[in-house]
Structure 1
Amino acid sequence: MSEAFLTSLDGSAPGLAHAAHVVGSAALGDHQPGSDLDLVLELSRAPGPDDLAALAAALTPELDLVCLVGGEPGPWGRDGAFHADATHDVTPVLLHQLNRCSTTLRGPRPRFAVTRDEVERYCRRNLVEYWRPLVELVASVTGPGRRDGVLWVAFGPARQWHTIRTGEVVSKSRAAELAAGHWPDLAGELRDLVAARRGEPVELTSAHREAVVALGSRVLASV
């Protein structure tokens, strides 16, 4: 997927992408069938109209794309939609992932200036501003809840919790394993949720939704 994108881009905008890095689940060994691939491009120049057209043409729905121009936000794409304006954030966690746990397809390894304190502050803010409302939303429903929504909220808070504690970025599945070890009363449901994320035929029940709420609430209380 990423190789095809780069080949297409090189054909229509030679020299635009001087470095390319895979981040997210694929770089962390946790990529699942049907998951998006997260690709970060370091551009060699500010993209002109022809460059933007080439990026848009090469983008596929399976690719989440972030472009950096001199380390600053550039064009981006998600779910097959291309955005020429630099409206995405280049977060400390993204820079930390690029430095520590990305797979470089082209160019030199990333060496972005980011500190552990910056990463920790971002994770704490993200937990409060992004994950807390989602945990509260899952808590407000009855029954098992929507499968995709429960699976999305299941792992995010645990990943932030582990990064705050250790500075390490881990996959969703690994975060669930670590949380299960820390809170063993939730271990059975968390392992079921990991299996469901892998596509196994696990029936999610109210107990799984309640475990997601309990985990999110404990993470928020602990940090």
Structure 2
Amino acid sequence: MITDYLSFLDARLPGLVAGAHLYGSRVLDDVVADSDLDVVVEVSRLVEVPSFEGADVTVVLAGSLERPVSDVTPLAGEVTPVLWQQLRTVGQTVRGTRPSCPLDDGDVEAYCRANLVEYWDRLFTAVRAMPSLTRGDILWVGLGPARLWHTIRTGEIVSKSRAGELAAARWPDLPLLDVVAARRDPSVSLTASHAQAAVDLFDRIRADVTT
């Protein structure tokens, strides 16, 4: 897919794509049926990068990945300490030079802690009020916070599936391996018990990272 995407860009922006770097599920060995192509594109000048179905694209000016994330304003998408950490550790450069993505000590942990409060706390307030959750809802809320939990504890960026496995090992009474299996296999059923497990997991994560 990345080859097709770069060919698409080169045909529309000839000579302007200076770098391309993969991150996310394709470098974390966690590709499932609906996985996007997560890619950071470096362009040599200000330009609008056309959309491409199935690609989640962050666009920056060439050289931006050698600067602290707080100094970078993307042309499209979002830049975060977690993205910088992925690119500098597990990211795959498919065009250009592998970036250094400098980070200050504690940037990644601070971002993850803030995200737990600013995004996930608010989301779970809504989740608790819902009479039921869809399969997609359960997969999202059941695995997303686990990734932050692991990164806060270790600094390591892992996939959603791996985070679910790690959380299951920490809290084996919760049916989290079912959620991991359902992410990989659409035939695996999820029920209200799995929705409740997602809520319980979030509460345990919040307690675990604040002790």
* TM-score scaled by length of structure 1: 0.85
* Corresponding residue to 1:149 among 137, 146, 149: 137
2:5 partner letter: F
Q: Over residues 10-31 of structure 1, what are the superposed CA-to-partner deviations in whole Å (9 max), with x where a residue is unaligned?
A: 1232221111011111110001
Paired residues in the alignment total 201
Matches within 5 A, 1:196-215: 196-215=182-201
User: How many Å apart are 1:115 and its aligned residue?
Assistant: 2.7
Give the distance between the partners of 2:191 and 2:158, measured in 1 at CA: 26
User: How many Å apart are 1:46 and its aligned residue?
Assistant: 2.5
Residue in 2 that maps onto 1:74: 74
Q: Does 1:37 align with 2:31?
A: no
User: How many Å apart are 1:215 and its aligned residue?
Assistant: 0.6
Contact (CA 8 Å) 1:138, 1:150: kept in 2 or not?
Answer: no
Q: Over residues 54-87 of structure 1, what are the superposed CA-to-partner deviations in whole Å (9 max), with x where a residue is unaligned?
A: x21xx322110101114233333xxxxxxxxxxx
Residue in 1 that maps onto 2:108: 119
Residue in 2 that maps onto 1:18: 18
Residue in 2 that maps onto 1:171: 159
1:180 partner letter: A
Q: CA RMSD in A?
A: 1.4
Runs (4+) off by over 3 Å = none
Identical residues among aligned pairs (%): 47
1:111 partner letter: S
Give the distance between the partners of 1:179 and 1:75, measured in 2 at CA: 36
* Corresponding residue to 2:54 among 28, 42, 62: 62
Give the distance between the partners of 1:155 and 1:207, measured in 2 at CA: 15
Structure 1 unaligned regions, length at least 5: 77-87
User: How many Å apart are 1:109 and its aligned residue?
Assistant: 1.0
Give the distance between the partners of 2:52 and 2:44, measured in 1 at CA: 22
Q: Over residues 152-176 of structure 1, what are the superposed CA-to-partner deviations in whole Å (9 max), with x where a residue is unaligned?
A: 1111111001001100000000000
1:197 partner letter: R
